[in-house]
């Protein structure tokens, strides 16, 4: 067990509260293991009718995973990183297939690993504090924890746009895109949790009664541009479309993409293209584990973490340095399935 996640059962509801406020509740291995143990226990306990996932205090729901640990491991043999990915993805899959309703309160920063534990939940509550993003292209990783499943199922080409740019969405935008099922003012969250604990059979009704009309979703005014300019599954073609457009919005997005890892952008586009055609979430996690097992030891991830998280010079030197230099063979090698004895497997 770990103090980094608080686990309890309130009569009829299991409670999981992330408790690493200094790290914005970023997930580590003991947290994932503790959540899995609790979920498995409650799965067979008829007294527990639903599960609530939230955070104990601080400004974020969950900022992601333990990036420094992943980079430290990747710089060595990658064993610790692979164990984390394997366990985290089992948690993601367990939530995706969980037989009891799960409510995730995405109050505050919800990124990376936080996306992985909120999106499988039946009820996903956004607030005025929600800041949702998959910013992995900026550190040379990739939009994992099921990103290859959720993102391509969003409207039009929004998923590709979010995966490539790492754009942040507010709570109203999450609701408009279906990433959230409800929009509540943060002052109503305590009441929502109390009422759900008393009557878990009425989760949908309780959240509906406490919901308010969300502010206008800013991203909706850009959907036409996103669908047109991010239409291709080829990174170079997206860059060319943005450059040819000449508009202010396109220029801003082009400048953003120029800062991202070309390798990661190409990985993300292929990941989403193939994920769109998959019919089994476990298959998606198997593929993401194969990608993660390799990417975590590659130059761009180690360099991205150095530049953005350790040295904070925000000047990563990507290698390969340009989209054109990232060949199809290079990407193919990242996507090769692992040998049977190394593949990711769900919990049985």
Catalytic residues: 65, 113, 136, 144
Of 96, 179, 97, nearest in space to 131 by CA: 179
Six token digits for residue 235: 């990174």
Distance CA 85, CA 293 (A): 8
Six token digits for residue 346: 């769900």
Annotate 229-246 with b (16+ C-beta within 10 A) or e (fewer): bbeebebeebbebbeebe
Of 139, 133, 159, nearest in space to 259 by CA: 139
Tell me if 217 sits within 8 A of 179, measured CB to CB.
no
Six token digits for residue 300: 């761009």
Of 148, 116, 149, nearest in space to 132 by CA: 116
Distance CA 202, CA 196 (A): 7
Residues contacting 261, CB < 8 A, separation 6+: 137, 138, 139, 140, 300, 304, 316, 318
Distance CA 304, CA 317 (A): 8
Of 209, 64, 214, 248, nearest in space to 139 by CA: 64
């Amino acid at each position: 067990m770990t103090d980094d996640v608080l686990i309890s059962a309130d009569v009829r509801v299991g409670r999981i509260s992330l408790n690493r406020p200094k790290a914005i509740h970023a997930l580590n291995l003991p947290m994932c293991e503790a959540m899995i143990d609790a979920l498995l226990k409650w799965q067979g306990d008829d007294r527990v009718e639903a599960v609530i996932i939230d955070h104990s205090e601080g400004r974020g729901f969950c900022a992601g995973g333990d990036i420094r640990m992943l980079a430290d491991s990747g710089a060595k043999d990658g064993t610790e990183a692979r164990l984390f990915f394997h366990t985290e993805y089992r948690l993601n899959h367990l939530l995706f297939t969980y037989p009891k309703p799960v409510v995730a309160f995405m109050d505050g920063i919800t990124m990376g690993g936080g996306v992985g534990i909120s999106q499988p939940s039946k009820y996903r509550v956004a607030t005025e504090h929600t800041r949702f993003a998959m910013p992995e292209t900026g550190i040379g990783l990739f939009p994992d924890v099921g990103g290859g499943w959720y993102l391509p199922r969003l409207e039009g080409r929004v998923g590709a746009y979010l995966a490539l740019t790492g754009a942040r969405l507010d709570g109203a935008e999450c609701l408009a895109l279906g990433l959230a099922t409800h929009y509540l003012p943060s002052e109503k969250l305590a009441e929502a949790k109390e009422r759900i604990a008393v009557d878990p059979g009425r989760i949908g009704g309780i959240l509906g009664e406490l919901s308010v009309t969300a502010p206008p979703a800013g991203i909706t005014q850009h959907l036409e541009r996103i669908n047109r300019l991010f239409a291709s599954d080829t990174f170079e073609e997206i860059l060319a479309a943005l450059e040819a457009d000449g508009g202010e919005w396109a220029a801003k997005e082009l400048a953003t993409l120029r800062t991202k890892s070309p390798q990661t952008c190409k990985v993300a586009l292929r990941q989403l293209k193939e994920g769109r055609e998959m019919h089994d979430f476990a298959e998606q996690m198997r593929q993401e584990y194969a990608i993660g097992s390799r990417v975590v030891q590659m130059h761009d991830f180690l360099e991205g973490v150095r530049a953005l998280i350790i040295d904070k010079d925000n000047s990563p030197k990507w290698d390969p340095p340009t989209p054109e230099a990232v060949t199809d063979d290079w990407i193919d090698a990242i996507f090769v399935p692992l040998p049977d004895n190394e593949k990711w497997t769900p919990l049985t």
